[in-house]
């Protein structure tokens, strides 16, 4: 499959999950593990079924690793922001990222509440509903509007902050310039499925995302969570990483 074909498949997968979300009336917990909702499992099965036809391997938050033949690995969060969805807060997404030997290659994040779709192909820029995206030009933390996850231990010097509850979408706001940066104020609270696609979208828009504790970010495993920090510019990224390291 070429990368344009992968975008088409990812779009179809996001459509299928969106249809299921609109039809569901069951927003209770699953019986499998704490923090998991029944709708997470429904969404996961839709994703796995659709991707089985491609022959691609899959790493999903809900079902772990499904190995197939060659062609790459799709890292997927079928429903990022499940609690938001269960409470009627319109900030939840499906996130899919194709990873090959050179890293993240194709990413798509669909806001399932609004239908807004963010996408990127490595080396070809980032798009929002088909339109080119770029990050802001903010270089100073005192001027920045920052997204956060978790509770900041103190004011970190930003102009304002927002806590929205779905990392994939929060990072896409950095990619599109609505936020100037993002700081995960928790420790290793996010798996690679939460940020893989949005990280590529950020990179292709001119923003950057790193692990706030200095490790490799794209860990292709269910066992190594990370602490993402993102910024529209390198100058701002250095300030946000320094602030995060001071916790």
CATH of the domain at 235: 3.40.190.80
Residue with tokens 């290793």: 188
Q: What are the DSSP calls for 178-191, one per residue?
A: SSSEEEE-SSS-B-
Q: Are 115 and 207 found together in one domain? A: no
To which H or E segment does residue 183 belong? strand 181-184
How does pLDDT run across 118-137, given as a tens digit for each residue? 999 999 999 999 999 999 99
Domain-terminating residue out of 82, 106, 132? 132
Whole-angstrom distance, CA of residue 184 vs CA of residue 149: 5
Q: Which domain holds residue 103?
A: 3-132
Q: Give the pLDDT band (50/70/90) at residue 8.
A: very high
Q: Are 11 and 50 found together in one domain? A: yes
**Mean of the per-residue pLDDT values for the chain?**
94
**Is the distance from CB of 222 to CB of 64 less than 8 angstroms?**
yes
Residue with tokens 């602030």: 243
Query: How many CB atoms sit inside 10 A of residue 208's CB?
Result: 19
SS3 of 130, please?
Answer: coil
Domain count, the chain: 2
Q: Are 119 and 155 found together in one domain? A: no
Instruction: Give the phi and the psi of residue 145 in degrees, each rounded to 5.
Output: -100, 120
Q: Are 11 and 111 found together in one domain? A: yes
**Which candidate, 218, 208, 204, 216, places its Cα nearest to that of 238?**
208
Q: Give the pLDDT band (50/70/90) at residue 31.
A: low
How does pLDDT run across 176-222, given as a tens digit for each residue? 999 999 999 999 999 999 999 999 999 999 999 999 999 999 977 76
Query: How many CB atoms sit inside 10 A of residue 61's CB?
Result: 21
Rg of the chain (C-alpha set):
17
Q: Are 100 and 16 found together in one domain? A: yes
Q: Give the pLDDT band (50/70/90) at residue 33.
A: confident
Q: Which of 26-35, 165-174, 188-197 has the lowest mean pLDDT?
A: 26-35
Q: Are 147 and 238 found together in one domain? A: yes
Q: Which residues is 209 bridged to in the sheet?
A: 230
**Which candidate, 218, 224, 228, 247, places its Cα nearest to that of 98?**
218
How does pLDDT run across 71-103, given as a tens digit for each residue? 799 999 999 999 999 999 999 999 999 999 999
Q: Are 158 and 65 found together in one domain? A: no
Q: Are 118 and 168 found together in one domain? A: no
Whole-angstrom distance, CA of residue 94 vs CA of residue 109: 6
């Amino acid at each position: 499959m070429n990368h344009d074909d992968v975008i088409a498949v990812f779009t179809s997968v996001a459509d299928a999950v969106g249809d299921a979300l609109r039809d569901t009336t069951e927003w209770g917990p699953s019986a499998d593990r704490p923090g998991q909702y029944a709708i997470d499992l429904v969404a996961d099965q839709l994703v796995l079924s659709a991707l089985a036809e491609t022959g691609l391997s899959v790493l999903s938050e809900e079902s772990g690793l499904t190995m197939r033949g060659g062609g790459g690995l799709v890292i997927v969060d079928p429903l990022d922001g499940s609690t938001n969805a269960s409470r009627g807060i319109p900030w939840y997404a499906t996130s899919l990222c194709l990873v090959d030997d050179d890293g993240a290659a194709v990413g798509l994040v669909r806001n399932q509440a609004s239908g807004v779709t963010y996408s990127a192909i490595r080396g070809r820029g980032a798009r929002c509903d088909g339109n080119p995206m770029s990050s802001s030009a903010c270089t100073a933390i005192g001027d920045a509007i920052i997204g956060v996850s978790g509770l900041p231990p103190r004011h970190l010097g930003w102009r304002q902050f927002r806590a929205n509850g779905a990392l994939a979408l929060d990072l896409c706001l950095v990619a599109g310039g609505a936020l100037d940066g993002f700081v995960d104020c928790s420790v290793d609270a996010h798996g690679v499925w939460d940020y893989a696609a949005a990280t590529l979208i950020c990179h292709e828009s001119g923003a950057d995302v790193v692990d706030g504790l200095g490790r490799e970010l794209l860990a292709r495993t269910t066992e190594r969570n990370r602490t993402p920090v993102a910024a529209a510019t390198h100058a701002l990224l250095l300030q946000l990483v320094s602030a995060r390291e001071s916790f």
